Amino acid sequence: MDDMYREVILDHYKNPRNFGTLDPADISYEDDNPLCGDRIRIDLRLDENQRVKEVAFSGHGCAISQASASMLTEEILGKTLDEIRHIGKEQVLELLGIELGPVRLKCALLSLKVLKAGAYGLKEED
């Protein structure tokens, strides 16, 4: 059994945590990886201390992109936007616990890209 589809990844893929949308949301960002067709949107609600109170993700894509998004939403509950801005890609790869080639790395990191763009208050491109 190879690592890439270890049980925890398949579990997050089949039973994504915090899947859905928040309307209204304090922060909402969406992006895709047009090369493989992965798409992820992340919505955040913040409490009075600017900490993540609620989070939801939606979209579609491969098991790696969806599992990493699901794991990431669990990870950021209670975190401040500043803490989110400091999440590195190593942390996401640690959550996934697998080694990835350059192509699949893009899948794994799409959710972090979306989350950080949201945290930095970027406007969605087209």
Partner 1 sequence: MTALSTFDSARICADFPILSREVRPGVPLIYLDSAATSQKPASVIEAMNDYYRRSNANIHRGVHALAEEATALYEGARERVARFINACSTKEVIFTRNATEAINLVAYSWGRANVNAGDAIVITEMEHHSNLVPWQMLAAEKGATLEVIPVTDDGELDLSTFDDILQKRPKLVCLTHMSNVLGTINPVTDIAAKAHAAGALVLVDGAQSVPHLPVDVQTLGADFLAFSGHKMCGPTGIGVLWARQALLEDMPPFLGGGDMIRRVYLREFKANALPHKFEAGTPAIAEGVGLGAAVDYLTGTGMAAVHAHERQIIAYALERLEEVPGVTVYGPKAERKGGVAAFSLAGVHPHDIAQVLDRDGIAVRAGHHCAMPLHDRYQLPATARASFYLYNTMGEVDALIEGLYKVKKMFG
* Positions in the binding site for partner 1 (CB under 8 A): 2, 4-5, 10, 13-14, 34-39, 60-65, 104, 107
Residue 8 or residue 36: which is nearer to partner 1 going by CB?
A: 36
- Give least dist CB 45 to partner 1, A: 28
Residue 14 or residue 86: which is nearer to partner 1 going by CB?
A: 14
Measured in degrees and rounded to the nearest 5, phi and psi for residue 84 equal: -65, -40
Residue 20 or residue 37: which is nearer to partner 1 going by CB?
A: 37
Euclidean distance between CA atoms 68 and 70, whole angstroms: 5
- Give least dist CB 44 to partner 1, A: 25
| Torsional sign, CA 8, 19, 66, 76 | negative
Helix, coil or strand: residue 34: coil
Count Cα atoms within 13 angstroms, Cβ side, for 81.
16
- Give least dist CB 35 to partner 1, A: 6
